[in-house]
Structure 1
Amino acid sequence: MSSKKQAIFISSLVILWYSSNIGVILLNKFLLSNYGFRFPIFLTMCHMAACAILSYISIVFLKVVPLQTLKSKSQFVKIATLSVVFCGSVVGGNISLRYLAVSFNQAVGATTPFFTALFAYLATLKREAWVTYAALVPVVTGVVIASGGEPSFHFFGFVMCISATAARAFKSVLQGILLSSEGEKLNSMNLLLYMSPIAILVLLPAALIMEPNVVDDTLSLGREHKFMWLLLLVNSVMAYSANLSNFLVTKHTSALTLQVLTSLTLFFLVLCVLHNYFPNY
């Protein structure tokens, strides 16, 4: 593939990733806060179910990519770890949306490159240029300032958000290893296929314990709001698109690049948040 085609391909992936993530975030917020669907763990499980089903259909029936088999126990452990970390990041993020505004939630998420650089060094002992680390300082500083002036600041929501951010960074590093390691390389769709069922197994008992009335309440909401099931379906499909494009962008760039790209968008959200606190700024 020529460099021009490669650039167009990666740009298309980034656009798909951005649009999918924005859609998922807004629909998550709408379902969790405005629609009365207060079950973030079950919502994440729906996302993973969609990822498993759509990946299976794409690989087995549509033959989009060939089916790959796991080669070692070590590879399975890494995928299982990725699944657990992913569950933690998404559930934590969804829980934080119940307490924090979307703009502030995403502003905190702008610190993801900082955690990514840290975990990448710890996992691979690979150091980035000092300029890269220096560029992360203003982002972290901006989030600290925003946190101090956030009118709807909620400590538990903030803790969940920063925990989800750190987990998201670790996930990016781990998935980068799984997507690029010569001995254990998987393509993005196969990685999602193997990761999703494990995530469902992790989320199911958590949902039953922490959200015991989820089935009855979901059915009740479905009867009360005629578009409930459609919104849940669209949200789950968009989550599949977001996860798949996330893997693809990581594979064709790097974990840190992915998170820096995220921060380019979140930078403007931070400015908007700061503007709300300092109108004359």
Structure 2
Amino acid sequence: MEETRMLSWGVFRSLLAIVQWWGFNVTVIIMNKWIFQKLDFKFPLTVSCIHFICSSIGAYIAIKLLKIKPLIEVDPEDRWRRIFPMSFVFCINIVLGNVSLRYIPVSFMQTIKSFTPATTVILQWVVWRRHFDWRIWASLVPIVGGILLASLTELSFNILGFCAALFGCLATSTKTILAESLLHGYKFDSINTVYYMAPFATMLLAVPAILLESGGVVTWLYTHESVGSALVVILGSGVLAFCLNFSIFYVIHSTTAVTFNVAGNLKVAVAVMASWAVFRNPIPGLNAFGCAVTLCGCTFYGFVRHKLAQQPGTPRAPANRDVLELLPLVNEKQDKA
């Protein structure tokens, strides 16, 4: 009886973790799209900078004041030699994600971001000469094919938004690969990761945001009809972006890698349906089919990685990558291979 109760609690905890992760992730994406489209606040650098400021403050409160997680001490030299390069790529990744949301529908952006496993494999193969099992390459076929089909049939196709999302996949892959080498020896959780990376990212974004978008922001403040409520939405998206990090930490410790992979792909489907319900952007049948094929390919990719990791003698990647692949607004799926 006791074992049954424990099993039921474990299942309930996993479901609760997944649902709240879905909620934060989808809400942040929808809010960002709402900010760009409905509030006419077309400044992705400023939005990203606000997210990083909120994340910096939130991580400080969580570690220093609430002491939810102990602070992982990092040598000052390592902060610049290891964490700063990660923050730079992390910053580019988030900005590209917001730029893509500025120009293309959420459904199309989420489909393109599912290309990240393919860019990770190709980048490691081309640059680092790493060899992969043929099943890994086979799993990339439906991912690439589905994205091509979705792109060809997307009614709201925009080349700038498409390129931003595609290069965002490349930035996510680079961040993932760098994490394995730059953060070797530091077992970061998501809160400590944000604690160290968000201030660097804020510093990197502040100057270009001021130089490129400050004039437009000032004009928007003077001309927008409901500035107060709009600012609440913008700041709220930043707070939820930090909450998303905290939810990721909870999910990682409540589910298995396979469950997380499947849940991650279902999350994309939930985001697509939610965006359609809110924005009513047209989704042709072939476009939806391409998205479904891509998600099936991502699920198969995660399954293959998990199976290969179970084979004797297969090296396992550092745990750092599991957290770093899932920072705010990043749609890379987790695998613990």
TM-score normalised to the size of structure 1? Answer: 0.81
Match status 1:83 vs 2:117: no
- The verdict on how the C-alpha distance between 1:66 and 1:77 changes in structure 2, with shifts beyond 3 A counting, is same
Deviation at 1:151, TM superposition (A): 1.4
Kept in 1: contact 2:221–2:227 (CA 8 A): no
1:38: which partner in 2? Answer: 42
Deviation at 1:46, TM superposition (A): 0.6
Select the residue among 116, 120, 128 that pairs with 1:116.
Answer: 120
- The verdict on how the C-alpha distance between 1:100 and 1:250 changes in structure 2, with shifts beyond 3 A counting, is same
Alignment of 1:158-177 (within 5 A): 158-175=162-179
1:200: which partner in 2? Answer: 202
Kept in 1: contact 2:90–2:175 (CA 8 A): yes
Deviation at 1:94, TM superposition (A): 1.1
What is the letter of the counterpart of residue 116 of structure 1? T
Alignment of 1:1-281 (within 5 A): 12-71=16-75, 73-74=77-78, 76-119=80-123, 129-175=133-179, 181=184, 183-217=185-219, 219-220=221-222, 224-246=226-248, 262-266=264-268, 269=272, 273=283, 275=285
| SS of structure 1 residue aligned to 2:73 | coil
Find the aligned partners of 2:40 and 2:72 in 1 and give their Cα distance.
Answer: 40
| SS of structure 1 residue aligned to 2:228 | coil
What is the letter of the counterpart of residue 275 of structure 1? G
Deviation at 1:61, TM superposition (A): 0.8
CA deviation profile, 1:179-227 (whole Å, cap 9, x unmatched):
7x4x222232112111011000110011012213154135336763431
CA deviation profile, 1:36-81 (whole Å, cap 9, x unmatched):
1111101001100011101101111111111222136345433212
| SS of structure 2 residue aligned to 1:227 | helix
What percentage of aligned pairs have identical amino acids? 29
Find the aligned partners of 1:125 and 1:253 in 2 and give their Cα distance.
Answer: 32
Kept in 1: contact 2:13–2:254 (CA 8 A): no
Find the aligned partners of 2:111 and 2:221 in 1 and give their Cα distance.
Answer: 34
- The verdict on how the C-alpha distance between 1:259 and 1:198 changes in structure 2, with shifts beyond 3 A counting, is farther
Kept in 1: contact 2:96–2:164 (CA 8 A): yes
- The verdict on how the C-alpha distance between 1:255 and 1:71 changes in structure 2, with shifts beyond 3 A counting, is farther
CA deviation profile, 1:58-114 (whole Å, cap 9, x unmatched):
111111111222136345433212211121111111112222111111111111121
What is the letter of the counterpart of residue 70 of structure 1? V
| SS of structure 2 residue aligned to 1:106 | helix
Kept in 2: contact 1:48–1:197 (CA 8 A): yes
- The verdict on how the C-alpha distance between 1:278 and 1:176 changes in structure 2, with shifts beyond 3 A counting, is closer
Structure 1 vs Structure 2 CA RMSD: 3.6
Kept in 2: contact 1:176–1:255 (CA 8 A): no
Deviation at 1:264, TM superposition (A): 4.2
Find the aligned partners of 1:245 and 1:176 in 2 and give their Cα distance.
Answer: 23
What is the letter of the counterpart of residue 206 of structure 2? L
Q: Which ranges of structure 2 fall in alignment gaps of 5 or more residues?
A: 274-281, 290-337
Deviation at 1:136, TM superposition (A): 2.5
- The verdict on how the C-alpha distance between 1:82 and 1:278 changes in structure 2, with shifts beyond 3 A counting, is closer
